[in-house]
Structure 1
Amino acid sequence: MNYFKITALSITLLTVSCSTQNVGNNKTVSVSQKEEKLTDIQYGSHERNVMDVYLPANRSPKTAFLINIHGGAWTQGDRTYDGKISEYLLSQGIAVANLNYRYANLTDTHLPELLDDIDNVAKYLSSRSNEWNTRKNGFSISGGSSGAHVSLMYAYTKNPQIKTIIEMCGPVDFTDVQTLTYVKAANLLEVLDKMSGNKTVWNPGDAIPKAYAKTSPVKFVNQIPTMIIHGDKDEVVPIQQAYILEKALKAKGVQYKLVVVPGAGHLITKLPADEQVVFTHVAEWLKKYGTN
């Protein structure tokens, strides 16, 4: 099977313009500059290895290109969750790959497999750079909740060429006892074990499983500019997690920004006003750190 075959392609053409691109030996070729939406692109062999790609008009290899990862506790969810922000970023001249990925389970699919999926997305996008007139590397990455966690781990441990990270309401430190106690009380330890591959049962007072430490983004912070967006009333991932990451970023001198949305819960864009705040901050950050 050709992993890079586009099995279903729907293209919406809204704005039409044209430019030329130098390909060497003083020759130029026409480069399409239409706004395009490519749906159900198969980027890997698993049935969930599909994505939608949003390409703005007048794009170039310097245009910010965001890889977006949906939430859902690593075990559910769909890229349709983030269709609205993808459309908004497209309107702001930002390219987006909005993707599905394999669900974690207790047997053979854990964080490394999820990161492999994201890596296949980056490789696919790179392979289409000439055809789409988009960047070959230096992608940006974002996600909400578990998608934020995967985004951070991919950028910090798998692909140092990521230009910037935007994490929204994500868990970042599974070695924090207060957080683990909260997770256990919410009956979410099983999904954490599916993601991390942990095989032991954790109870308050026990040593922290090594699998939890190995999958905590705060342990791997590097110099990639990072934006944190979190609601101060988050009932699923306490805002303390945002402060833990902020402290680690500050300690390493990383360029970062923390945006606290007052009164917002885990569904941080539930209210229209909050949605506009989040979308605006994301677009501004990507225009500043995701380009060139």
Structure 2
Amino acid sequence: MYTKIIALCLASSFILAGCSKSSDNDLPADEEQVITDISYGSHAQQKMDVHLPAERNTQTPVVIFLHGGGFVAGDKAEVNAYMRLFLDRGYAVVNANYRLVDSTGLSQTPVLHQESAIKISDQLNDIRSITDKVAASVASWKVSGSKWLLAGHSAGATLALLYAHGNKNSDKRIKVVANIAGATSFAFSDESEAALVPPLLLEVLFRATGVPATNPNKLAYMAISPYWVSNNSSNAVAAINIRPEQDSGDDLYRAYTQLLISRSVVNQYLIITGAGHSLDPDSKKAEAVVAIDAFARAAL
């Protein structure tokens, strides 16, 4: 099923890092700028950094990037390498944190079973708040208000797909979505499949959805599956899906690709050869960003 993919998503760091703060008042467009820890909500995790390229203007595209961490962990500081790569290719980059599903007791044996106040639906609401904040700021940042790309790594990529192809993007602010090593489906045909999932992963999915993986709850698991959200949505946007060669899930990625083709959605499926889930060394990240840039420039 999707066990190996989720396990890789959960492999991201659980450590949060802080950043200093700056102001975005009167930013000269001819200079590179970084504004850190901009709040887009009242929660401590609702913060984002903005990296603005030199010589930017109202045609400068914007990429909103979401870190990984299996929905329960991770921080924007962990994906700074992607920020530099996009910045060097002329993008304004929004590197965003989002509220995390509760990770309490996940490292215990046995795994602690409890509900989480934050679920994937809340994380998708955070992305909406991020886009609202960006929309309110593009004039002062001196960047495009319409050429927007949503990208992410691992669980962040899954969230990006869910948002871009879901009803929260009905205003079509997001024109292109980029999935780097994200899961494309958590759905199951029968609850007996849950017996094959390690307890840690099963608990994360329970906390992320709020319901156990049983037959009466199939729709809840389809609702956090990009494949099924894309299948049922009229808001699908151009998508590039990138799988590190050492990740499992080729069959799921190919099924997702065929779905997008059947729905006449512009898309690309790319395998980064020799790469593991984290796309180390940075040359592998650069390969992914070059492909995303070429795809996005053609689609925007």
Normalised TM-score (structure 1): 0.80
Letter in 2 for 1:145: S
Aligned residues: 261
Q: Report the counterpart of residue 85 of structure 1 in structure 2.
A: 82
1:113 aligns with 2:122: yes
Alpha-carbon distance, 1:223 to partner:
3.6
Alpha-carbon distance, 1:175 to partner:
1.7
After superposition, the CA RMSD in angstroms is 2.7
Where 2:269 maps in the other structure, the secondary structure is strand
1:262 aligns with 2:273: yes
Aligned partner (choices 259, 272, 294) of residue 284 of structure 1:
294
Q: Do the aligned partners of residues 177 and 270 (structure 1) sit closer, same or farther apart at CA in structure 2, a change above 3 Å counting?
A: farther
Letter in 2 for 1:147: G
Percent identity of equivalent pairs = 26
Alpha-carbon distance, 1:191 to partner:
1.2
Q: Do the aligned partners of residues 182 and 242 (structure 1) sit closer, same or farther apart at CA in structure 2, a change above 3 Å counting?
A: farther
CA distance in 1, matches of 2:282, 2:291: 14
CA displacement, residues 134-172 of structure 1 (integer Å, 9 cap, x when unaligned): 223452101111101110111111113111000011111
Instruction: Kindly indicate whether the alpha-carbon contact (under 8 Å) linking 1:149 and 1:172 is maintained by their aligned counterparts in 2.
Output: yes
Instruction: Kindly indicate whether the alpha-carbon contact (under 8 Å) linking 2:185 and 2:225 is maintained by their aligned counterparts in 1.
Output: yes
Q: Report the counterpart of residue 47 of structure 2 in structure 1.
A: 50
Letter in 1 for 2:261: K
CA displacement, residues 168-202 of structure 1 (integer Å, 9 cap, x when unaligned): 11111122459x6697137311112222222x254
Letter in 1 for 2:92: A
Larger deviation, residues 275-284 vs 164-173? 275-284
Alpha-carbon distance, 1:289 to partner:
2.6
Instruction: Kindly indicate whether the alpha-carbon contact (under 8 Å) linking 1:70 and 1:79 is maintained by their aligned counterparts in 2.
Output: yes
CA distance in 2, matches of 1:215, 1:208: 12
Q: Do the aligned partners of residues 252 and 11 (structure 1) sit closer, same or farther apart at CA in structure 2, a change above 3 Å counting?
A: same
In structure 1, stretches of 5+ residues that fail to align are: 1-6, 13-28
* Structure number with higher helix proportion: 2
Q: Report the counterpart of residue 170 of structure 1 in structure 2.
A: 182
Alpha-carbon distance, 1:85 to partner:
0.9
1:159 aligns with 2:156: no
CA displacement, residues 217-248 of structure 1 (integer Å, 9 cap, x when unaligned): 1122244110000023215xx23221121111
Alpha-carbon distance, 1:117 to partner:
0.8
Q: Report the counterpart of residue 38 of structure 2 in structure 1.
A: 41
In structure 2, stretches of 5+ residues that fail to align are: 1-18, 103-114
CA distance in 2, matches of 1:48, 1:115: 14
Please show how residues 93-112 of structure 1 align to structure 2 within 5 Å.
93-105=90-102, 106-112=115-121
Q: Report the counterpart of residue 22 of structure 1 in structure 2.
A: none
Q: Report the counterpart of residue 59 of structure 1 in structure 2.
A: 56
CA distance in 2, matches of 1:100, 1:39: 11
Larger deviation, residues 180-189 vs 156-165? 180-189
Please show how residues 109-148 of structure 1 align to structure 2 within 5 Å.
109-148=118-157
Alpha-carbon distance, 1:116 to partner:
1.2
Instruction: Kindly indicate whether the alpha-carbon contact (under 8 Å) linking 1:66 and 1:96 is maintained by their aligned counterparts in 2.
Output: yes
Alpha-carbon distance, 1:11 to partner:
7.1
CA distance in 2, matches of 1:55, 1:243: 35
CA distance in 1, matches of 2:29, 2:52: 11
CA distance in 1, matches of 2:184, 2:175: 19
The structure that has the greater radius of gyration is 1
Aligned partner (choices 174, 188, 193) of residue 201 of structure 2:
188
